[in-house]
Amino acid sequence: MVHEYRDRIYIRKDILLKLSEYGELNQSKLMSYCGLNNVKHKEIIEDMVTKGLITRTEEPWGNKTIIKYRVSQKGNELLKAILEPYEYLFPRGEL
C-alpha cells in the first residue's frame, strides 16, 4: 500500500491556492477542500496567519463564531513569486 505524504510546503501552497481560487473560505471548508485534518493541520494555518500569508476574521453567527480565511497581499506575492515557479520546475508526481 502506498501512503501519500505531502510536505508542509505543498500543504501551504494548497491552502494559498484554494483561498486564491475561492476568495474566502470558512475554516471547515478550507480544511475539507485541502484534504486536511482540523486537529493535525490547524497549527499550519495559524502559522500562516502569524506570518501574514493569510488573514483570519471572526464573524458572529447566532451564538457561534465563524472563522474565515483569505489570502493576504503578502500571501499573493509569495504565491506568484515562489510557489508557482517551484511547482512549474518541480511538479508533483514526476520522477
How high is the pLDDT of residue 79? 82
pLDDT at 8: 81
The count of domains in the chain is 1
3 lies in a domain? Answer: no
Domain presence at residue 44: yes
> Under a CB-based contact definition with an 8 Å cutoff, are residues 13 and 83 in contact?
yes
pLDDT beneath 70: ranges in the chain? 1-6, 92-95
C-alpha cell at 34: 485541502
Look at residue 76 and tell me if it is in a domain: yes
Q: Is residue 2 part of a domain?
A: no
Q: What is the pTM of this model?
A: 0.78
Q: Could you tell me the residue range of the domain that residue 79 belongs to?
A: 8-89
Q: What is the pLDDT of residue 91?
A: 76
In a domain, 19, yes or no: yes
DSSP characters over the chain: -PPP---HHHHHHHHHHHHHHHS-EEHHHHHHHHT--HHHHHHHHHHHHHTTSEEEEEEEETTEEEEEEEE-HHHHHHIIIIIHHHHHHS-TT--
